[in-house]
Structure 1
Amino acid sequence: MFEFSCTVKAGQEPARKLRQQTAPVERAMLLLIALVFVLRVVPGSAQNLYQNSNVSQKQYDVIVAGGDPEGIAAAIAAARAGARTLLVDTRPALGGLMTRGWLNTIDMNLDSRRRPLNGGIFAEIYRELDDNSFDVKVVEMLFDRLVAREQNLDVIRGALTLLPVAGSQTLPLYRPGQTLCPDDREMSATLTAEIMPPRASEAMTVTLQGIEIVHDHGQITPVSGRFFIDATQDADLAVAAGAGWKNYGEDVWGNIRNMATTLVLRLGNISDAGWQKMCVALGGNSDPGGLLGGTRRSIWGFGDIIKRYSPSTQRVRVRGLNLGRQNDGSVLVNAVLVFGIDGLDRQSRREARQLAEAELPLLLAFLQKNIAGMSEAVLAGVAPELYVRTSRQIATQYTLTVDDVLENRDFVDRACFGSYPLDIQAQVHDHHGDVTGKPEQYAVPLRSLIPVGFSNLMVVGRSAGFDSLAQSSARTIPVGMAAGQAAGVAAVISMKRRLPIDRLASDSSAVDELHQQLTRQGVSIGPNLARPPAIVGHWAYPGLKFMRQRGQISGGYGNEYSLEQPISGKAFANRLVNLFPDLHEHDRRWLYDFCAGQDSLNLGMACKILACLESFAVGDAIASRKILELPPDEVFDGFRQRDLFVSPWPAAKSKWNIALSRGAAYMLLLRWSEQRAH
């Protein structure tokens, strides 16, 4: 045996001295302990109805669709609150992304004292783990043990799919994701629709009556319910019932911009000594921010080496390695990115798997040659499910925004808290991702879990009511499980009070009861003590928000927006092109050519550029040439007369020949865009 400790990743607990056991006798003892653990996990109270259409009853108070961690938390919370609850999933094992997608490292959401936020059911799982990275089989058993304890909870696993029933009509799925349309099984075309269902609205409220559980070979089990929680990854149940939604990215960038999809792979034949070599290599090159390093369970880094890898197609890229050591000695690798995948299209998802699997032999050869400790590694498998990060966002009573997150906002109807960075993963091959900013702590309102136009349906998980930037923080598993727990309790309160869920968030008494019950279930749900960051008081903050809401600027982990630094001509041109993608190609070329030689701009030259773009918009080439001949101070005076530099723009910064700072550029673009819109 040996001991080692390595650099600790930001957000992890201080590294403890951890023993890696290698002797055969000790391994046998571990297997015996694991066997005893499995025997203790066998369901006792909950009905384990795997591939069994004979549910214990035909009517439930709460029905939860989807066995991802969010759905498990929702079902347990509802059962603990006294509701007869049914959890239905299509997979053979609970855990979804954690156990089927092999996403075996938790993106922790911590408070200002570096303690996990929320508590509750997530904490019950987290306390059983020895690291932020975990063994997939152990987590699967932990989920089984949790649901087995609940007297009021039945579980069906291995269903083919399920369909919502509303108005006594069974509704087909519309563009379902992999939860209700598993990629490894075939479904009848009659279970899906080509036409988008009629959209629910506040004027036309939908009440669900039940679901139909479809099994292999076409057998159907109808089950009625009083309340429904959609915990599928893509809100498939809600969409089939008529919930409104947007494709990911449309609200921020004006078009679909899904993050890359990942297929996690498993490597075998990496010895304990090999694992230690990798830890030591990174320990000697660790950075203060914790972006690389290693522990007994996890390793993250080697980005400098991976940059030298050349994939076989531009549809695939490999990023820095996230490695997770499993109890059987194998290593899970989260690193392969596949671009251009539509998570709502089964053929596209299957294409992602094909592209990733075709790349793996080449990647393995590279790792064997270039990563110390991997020279003898072998490919030992791939995850049963893809890690699909984004697809669509549901229209809810309130959409959580990037400003809510980065201003650390609280809400009276808070359902849970988050604090993970706004981590935008790569979207195309030449995009390497952005960190828009890092909140201290923000609240997720209950309204962001309530689809518009429903009286008895909530949505939890990454497709809930978040804008596309806020989603990059709120989609993390700890936030999703806490939101699921809140949804489970809210469902019971809604039924007990006979108060439709679309009215619950505005009922202060019901919200108080929600918080009281969550507190009794071990959730920390008091007022958010985090304050807005100091930058909200900057005179150019409205301009910063304008650009940030459109995905045009990032503050990184330190929220450093450099508002007082000069902006280059190229950076100014980039902002304009991204804000106005409908610019003609020749106008875009002119803009870049004109700005290319400007290491820095003054305010007058920036106004001149905008005036030229105005003339381009109306097709007046003569006016454009005249503007170019005008002195910058004259063009600036014209913009001043249009009130573009009124308060809070400081008088000292509203001179034509002053260097254009980033903050001033953002404010100028905000006000100019507002005038153009009117």
Structure 2
Amino acid sequence: MKRLVRLVFALIFVCLLLLPACESETVPISKEKNTSSQTHVVVIGSEIEGMYLARAAVDEGLSVVVLDPREKPGGQLIQGQMQFLDEPVDDHNNSLLQGSVKTLFTRYKKGEIRKANEFEQYYNSLIKGIPIESGITIIRVDKDEGHGAATQTIKSMTYRSADGSEKTISANYWVENTDFAALTGDLGLARLPGIETVFGGSKDYMAASIMMKFRNVDWKKFQTEINNLSRKEVEDKYGSTTTVTDKFTWGFGKVGGEFAPSSKEVFLRGLNAINQRDGEVLINALLLFNVDPSNKESIQSALNLGKSETVRILPHLRQQLPGWEKAEINGYPDYLYIRDYNRYQTEYVLQASDLMSGRMFWDNVSIGGYPIDLQGTATHTWGQHSGDPDKYGMPLRAFIPKGYANVILAGKNVGASAVAYGSARIQANTSLAAEVIGLILGKLKGEPGLTKLTEQEMNDIHSYLKDKYRIALSGADAKNKIENLSGDQIKQVDMGKLTLP
């Protein structure tokens, strides 16, 4: 009996010794707190301009990951439904569209892409095969300070996924592609002076907009009755430049001016409208002031105000416009069109004089055009038209934050003064730039060196882009519209204090 008891105790003792090993085999391993990954390019944000960069880089053989702080992808084009597309043209009305964005505009003008679901289909085809993670929050950016000019680099970024897990990703290049500087706002860069330099006051931004959607509009009647009026009758009743085609409208400044807004935070300007077919119309005209795109509460408040103001605007349009007598609201977008927010110092900052002189650069990544259109603020609701460039170059250096070797700016983050930004910000201009940069990254095989390209190397790249992609970035002949101005007058143009016809 004693021997049996001793044997039992011995077995218990052995089991206690082996318990940790047993536990390691039977207890599930807990989820890791942080996972790591590596890629060639990380794009922060899902605005369409950066997606052209991502698509080009992937097609050139690079790995790309898109990390989007917004809950759903697509930004202003898809979530904000800013689907009135502005086409850049030169003084002879020749289109300046090149690259992949030209396909979008071609189908848009043909009427194949007009409605929200058609834009979504196009966007989804653009990003097919590119991994996108929405709803992320940046926790930390790890940098290598380097030595000398343009030698700081981002090594890795730690972020929180929508499910709460932490992840760290490393990359060769990082792209700022949000409308609220989610990445560049924390890099210690100097903010470029904003629209306050033109209109006065403290730090300020051009207005945001909510797109207004209507149905049951008789566009044929609308077009016919407006165009049956004499030019003087149109201008007297609706305002100068008012035009209605079978596809678009612009002008109608008096229609906007005669509407009484509910508060100082909202304003109805002239009507840029697109015929979406089947009686559906989309209007870009309702301005919202003092919106902070980095603040979800500010965005939601502006959305609510925009929706309620659209309800008030509907009877005004029914009364003012022929063919709109039975118009109804056709829903609302989930997001806003953010025109302007903090932008930061770049290796080259475009000035209004660059645009108006038609300046071209050895490191062109786009040839842009469009009137210098400064949208309004709460204190200057009608904004300002500062001039009409013929066409102009956009250098790679305007898309590189000052002092950083592996950070790229996309879309509305372009380095441009407050005045030049009125034209440079146009989606088609910066979409071409983004695609070209993506192609250049592919040529570099994703390796460092973007900021070290020489003039000769860029000449070779320009030849390659022209031969393979039919994108022409050199040899353009642009009209200099300020050649007869004095040095002081040119300074006034750059400050927005001298506007040109």
Matched, 1:233 2:179: yes
Trace 1:181-580 onto structure 2 (pairs within 5 A).
Answer: 202=148, 205-250=151-196, 252=198, 255-270=202-217, 274-285=218-229, 291-327=241-277, 329-494=279-444, 498-499=448-449, 501-504=450-453, 507-519=454-466, 520-533=468-481, 535-538=482-485, 541-555=486-500, 559=501
Conservation of the 8 A alpha-carbon contact between 2:209 and 2:286: yes
CA 1:389/1:167 → structure 2, altered by over 3 Å: closer, same or farther? closer
- Specify the alignment match of 2:25 in structure 1: none
- Specify the alignment match of 1:73 in structure 2: 52
Deviation at 1:315, TM superposition (A): 2.2
Conservation of the 8 A alpha-carbon contact between 1:163 and 1:237: no
AA in 2 matched with 1:229: V
CA 1:292/1:318 → structure 2, altered by over 3 Å: closer, same or farther? same
Match of 1:86 among 61, 65, 70: 65
Please give the secondary structure, in 2, of the residue aligned with 1:262.
strand
Deviation at 1:154, TM superposition (A): 2.1
Inter-partner Cα distance in structure 1 for 2:147 and 2:382:
38
CA 1:82/1:345 → structure 2, altered by over 3 Å: closer, same or farther? same
Matched, 1:154 2:130: yes
- Specify the alignment match of 2:98 in structure 1: 119
Greater relative contact order (Cα < 8 A, sep 6+): 2
Deviation at 1:312, TM superposition (A): 1.8
Question: Percent same amino acid among aligned pairs?
Answer: 25
Conservation of the 8 A alpha-carbon contact between 2:172 and 2:447: no
Deviation at 1:336, TM superposition (A): 1.1
Deviation at 1:74, TM superposition (A): 0.5
Deviation at 1:423, TM superposition (A): 0.5
Conservation of the 8 A alpha-carbon contact between 1:201 and 1:453: no
RMSD between aligned residues: 3.0
Instruction: Output one character per residue of 1:541-579: Cα deviation in whole Å (capped at 9) or x when no partner.
Output: 223223222222212xxx3xxxxxxxxxxxxxxxxxxxx
Matched, 1:145 2:125: yes
Instruction: Output one character per residue of 1:495-538: Cα deviation in whole Å (capped at 9) or x when no partner.
Output: 56642x3323xx124323432343223312122211322x4234
Please give the secondary structure, in 2, of the residue aligned with 1:218.
coil
Inter-partner Cα distance in structure 1 for 2:70 and 2:121:
15
Please give the secondary structure, in 1, of the residue aligned with 2:169.
strand
Conservation of the 8 A alpha-carbon contact between 1:325 and 1:331: yes
CA 1:332/1:161 → structure 2, altered by over 3 Å: closer, same or farther? farther
Conservation of the 8 A alpha-carbon contact between 2:348 and 2:398: yes
Deviation at 1:253, TM superposition (A): 5.5
Conservation of the 8 A alpha-carbon contact between 1:159 and 1:213: no
CA 1:224/1:329 → structure 2, altered by over 3 Å: closer, same or farther? farther
CA 1:510/1:65 → structure 2, altered by over 3 Å: closer, same or farther? farther
Instruction: Output one character per residue of 1:35-92: Cα deviation in whole Å (capped at 9) or x when no partner.
Output: xxxxxxxxxxxxxxxxxxxxxx932112222221211111111122221222333557
- Per the normalisation by structure 2, the TM-score is 0.83
Conservation of the 8 A alpha-carbon contact between 1:200 and 1:452: no
Instruction: Output one character per residue of 1:420-459: Cα deviation in whole Å (capped at 9) or x when no partner.
Output: 0101111235541221111111001111011112121110
Please give the secondary structure, in 2, of the residue aligned with 1:356.
helix
CA 1:92/1:280 → structure 2, altered by over 3 Å: closer, same or farther? farther
Deviation at 1:223, TM superposition (A): 2.7
Trace 1:594-613 onto structure 2 (pairs within 5 A).
Answer: none
Instruction: Output one character per residue of 1:220-243: Cα deviation in whole Å (capped at 9) or x when no partner.
Output: 343321111212123321222333
- Per the normalisation by structure 1, the TM-score is 0.62
Deviation at 1:371, TM superposition (A): 2.3
Deviation at 1:282, TM superposition (A): 2.7
CA 1:97/1:291 → structure 2, altered by over 3 Å: closer, same or farther? farther
Please list every run of 5 or more consecutive structure 1 residues that lacks an aligned counterpart in the other structure: 1-56, 169-198, 560-678
Please list every run of 5 or more consecutive structure 2 residues that lacks an aligned counterpart in the other structure: 1-35
